[in-house]
Chains A and B, each alone.
Chain A
């Protein structure tokens, strides 16, 4: 395929959203590691990016115009290509390294506090990281109430925790057990809402009942019980309704009309509505502080290739109308090889950013605090849990997306890196939450820990 053809195809697909191009291995990069896609120029290869040193992880999309050009054969080439493999074999990895790919679940035992990797993580200048709490096996979603109690969910086990502080001493309490993958939690007017795979429940006045919490009261259960992608994220919108996802119960399939969507319900479980469709799985959601629009991370399918499709950052602008492409279009720019026939990606709502192939962006939260410098105000912090369906792991970091006034993405930069060492995880970031002083809490489900990130003069006891 000639360059002009390639360029026009790729730019046509990429126009309108930001491409995350390179994450430097070390945080030399105060410069943006990302290029907005200019309408008339090809994407810049990572080697030409500021801050993309030899240690950088290429995260190019669309791929640099090289041997890795997109799999759209030019006329003439197709005739010479060997017969394509049957559909089941597409994306099947060949070779010894690729053949070892497998999901990387955390062990169900938390890492001891003196073995946590906090000191190995890298942050921008004047940011500090310390261990906030350890021993919270599979720590996932984080929420803080106005008294400073921290609520922590789990996904592969059945528990909810609270971290409380009394006379300067922190204590981890188990609030509930026997829950069905209770990943989604949120707080509203003193009530803790809990989303399991197949039901949503609540505990009123949770702060007053931490020592002897009642069993959660279920108030909504019109949900599929599929475990794959059945875990949820829960948030309350500006309309005082609960928003949550129902994922597609598969890697790739035609979902039923009860799956692959965002629903909202009233706080008593009534009035369920589908507000967005075509979503494979959401693992983080938050509301733009001024535009009041819902942003969310979406993880894309496995087994297509090492470098595609990209996971996405989406924005809901037309509740009830937006369709984000699943299963027809992956990554915002790639017709699915199985379900994409007869469709183009232009039919669907585009992502506001691509977040790298297989990087598994999970929690995402807008920063409205005052501790971090002004450049972070109203930016989105995104925890990329890290890849498994890729022979050289990528992600395993927290990035920050800075936005334009209209809510489009201006840049994406690394914020916390270092969770991948020698192609293995030493931790995996999941979700962020803000303490009253504007500092960040970050959960790590691989180690069962919560870290605190502050801005200011370096502390002597950093990380310990």
Chain B
């Protein structure tokens, strides 16, 4: 078991996770086996490289836990996630959520940013109180997710799903607050949130 764990960690290069694993309710090797498929898509360093797949590093653990339970119970429908979560216990999901939270926060893309566009979008997020629940640095709090430096494509997809009513919300706050906001603005939100420095 221990050898499996260290071999996996060496492959993944995830020293921080391994340290953390020792502290979690699910035994280290067990968790690493369960976490590996998550990280293969969502990114071993907390940063996803795959289109429409979110980065989960430093995500609020309560938010991740809620989403994982919703996937397991098929309350939120996304086939790969429903399949991945279906046999996991409450304890597994809690451990995975905690391990994701301990990964590094995602980083913004290197490309040059349009400061005027960022500033304009920032003002609109304030007008809509986004920064109250999600916090001014968009690191989130408790069950409210971190959005800072999330992938732009995933942010826009999610905003459109909430707006269009196709993503089931746990607590339907986002459905409510997005009602008066048009699609062009969603594009700007996604740009701003994905380029925070």
Which residues of A come within 8 Å of B, CB atoms? Answer: 88-89, 92-93, 99-105, 107-109, 156-158, 177-178, 225-228, 230, 249-251, 253, 303
Contacts and interface: CB of A to CB of B under 8 A. Distances in A.
Given A92-B129, A101-B132, A102-B142, 16 more contacts: A92-B132, A100-B132, A101-B133, A102-B133, A103-B173, A105-B143, A105-B171, A108-B66, A108-B69, A108-B73, A108-B170, A109-B94, A227-B169, A227-B175, A228-B175, A249-B176
Contacts of B129: 92, 303
A102 B66 contact: no
A303 B132 CA distance: 11
A157 B171 contact: no
A278 to B, nearest CB: 19
A280 to B, nearest CB: 12
A89 B70 CA distance: 34
Contact of B66 (A100, A103, A107): A107
A93 B132 contact: yes
B12 interface: no
A76 B127 CA distance: 30
A430 B170 CA distance: 18
Contacts of B65: 107-109
B179 interface: yes
A227 B165 contact: yes
Contacts of B26: none
Nearest to B143: A105
A109 B69 contact: yes
B164 interface: no
Contact of A158 (B73, B171, B172): B73
Contacts of B143: 102-105, 107
Nearest to B93: A109
A158 B165 contact: no
A88 B128 CA distance: 7
Interface residues of B, number: 33
A104 B142 contact: yes
A102 B144 contact: yes
Interface in B143-197: 143-144, 165, 168-173, 175-176, 179
Contact of A103 (B69, B75, B133): B133
Interface in B47-96: 62, 65-66, 69-70, 73-75, 90, 93-94
B75 A157 contact: yes
B37 interface: no
A302 to B, nearest CB: 10
Nearest to A96: B136
B75 A102 contact: no
A109 B90 contact: yes
Contacts of B127: 88-89
A460 to B, nearest CB: 32
B6 interface: no
Given A109-B65, A158-B73, A228-B176, A99 B132 contact: yes
Contacts of B168: 227
B140 to A, nearest CB: 9
A299 to B, nearest CB: 13
A88 B127 CA distance: 6
Contacts of A249: 176, 179
Contacts of A100: 132, 135, 141
26 contacts: A89-B127, A99-B131, A99-B135, A99-B136, A100-B135, A102-B132, A102-B133, A102-B142, A102-B143, A104-B142, A104-B143, A105-B143, A105-B171, A107-B143, A108-B66, A108-B69, A108-B70, A157-B69, A157-B73, A158-B73, A178-B74, A227-B168, A230-B172, A249-B176, A251-B176, A303-B129
Nearest to B176: A228
A228 B75 contact: no
A183 B142 CA distance: 24
A372 to B, nearest CB: 34
Among all A-B residue pairs, the 5 with the closest Cβ atoms: A227-B172, A102-B133, A108-B69, A228-B176, A105-B171
Nearest to A102: B133
Nearest to B126: A92
B9 to A, nearest CB: 28
